[in-house]
Amino acid sequence: MAWFVPRQIPLPAGFIGFDPQSSVPDTQFTAYGRHLPHWRREGACYLATFRLRDSLPEEIVARMRDEQRQWQARLASAASKNEGRIPQQEWSEWQAFEQRRARKLDLLLDEGRGECLLRHAAHRTPLVEALHHQEGTRVEMLAYAIMPNHAHVLCRPLPGHALEALLGSWKRRSSQRIHRLLGRSGPMWQDESWDRIIRDGDHYATAARYIAKNPLAAGLSEDEATVWLHPTMQGA
């Protein structure tokens, strides 16, 4: 398996990091939540994961949502007792939980549950084309991995364009074309995606290397997955 993993990961020009524990409020930061928390900051880079609807059993999804709700309640309670700020101990424990949760999700997805439509190159091509369709006009694409039942994307939305709108566009465009190939209709992607603001240079490099390594870690051949890296990474 000749998967390429870059050694040097240069930051994109004009990179803006994000420190959620900064004592100086970030006036461009916003947040909203559905089943998952979603943080937004103009000019930031994001790592996003979206999956096919049949990629995880519903009981596992429900259990992970319950754990997330319990943590959100715990953090809200802690902040209410500390002038609206989450205490460092609670924050550190939550970050550790988030890392464990993300790792657990990745391992479950890499088990290859469900129909795994994207294992076939003909079904990955519509998603590749969707990811690049708005490149340079609405988004700066930095890296992605398309796995058999999910995809990871590292990107930076351009000013005035929201990550959730981009995710919705990628899902719609790809599902329409894949359904056309299969003669099907109906929802293909899970509605809500997981995403995380890239904090700093180390976080950016870790995210890019994870994307590059994901098919190798899952034991996939180049026929079963697609990885794309920004040209600045390809010779690194």
The 10s digit of each residue's pLDDT in 182-225 is: 999 999 999 889 999 999 999 999 999 999 999 999 999 999 99
CATH at 197 = 3.30.70.1290
Give 98 or 195, the one with higher predicted confidence: 195
Q: Are 186 and 148 found together in one domain?
A: yes
Examine the domain organization and report whether 210 and 126 are in the same domain.
yes
Tell me if 215 sits within 8 A of 227, measured CB to CB. Answer: yes
Write the pLDDT tens digit of every residue in 137-180: 999 999 999 999 999 999 999 999 999 999 999 999 999 999 99
Determine the pLDDT at residue 50: 96
Please report the pLDDT score of residue 117 as a whole number: 97
Query: 235 pLDDT band (50/70/90 cuts)?
Result: low
What is the predicted pLDDT for the residue at 163? 97
Mean of the pLDDT values across residues 61-86?
77
- Cβ-Cβ contacts under 8 Å for 32 (sequence gap 6 or more): 38, 40
pLDDT of res. 184:
93
Which pTM was predicted? Answer: 0.84
The pLDDT of residue 24 is 55
Answer yes or no: is 21 within a domain. Answer: no
pLDDT exceeds 90 at position 100: no
Q: Assess whether 107 and 183 both reside in one domain.
A: no
Q: Quick one: 79 and 136 in the same domain?
A: no
Q: Which domain holds residue 232?
A: 38-54+116-236
Extract the tokens encoding 87: 């205490």
CA atoms within 13 A on the CB side of 54: 11
Q: Are 173 and 126 in contact (CB under 8 A)?
A: yes
Same domain? For 120 and 221 the reply is: yes
Q: pLDDT at position 25, please? A: 58
Q: How many domains does the chain have?
A: 2
Flag whether pLDDT at 88 surpasses 70: yes
Q: pLDDT tens-digit profile of 12-68?
A: 999 999 887 665 556 677 877 676 778 899 999 999 999 999 998 777 777 877 887
Are the beta carbons of 137 and 158 closer than 8 angstroms?
Answer: yes
Cα distance between residue 154 and residue 150, in whole Å: 14
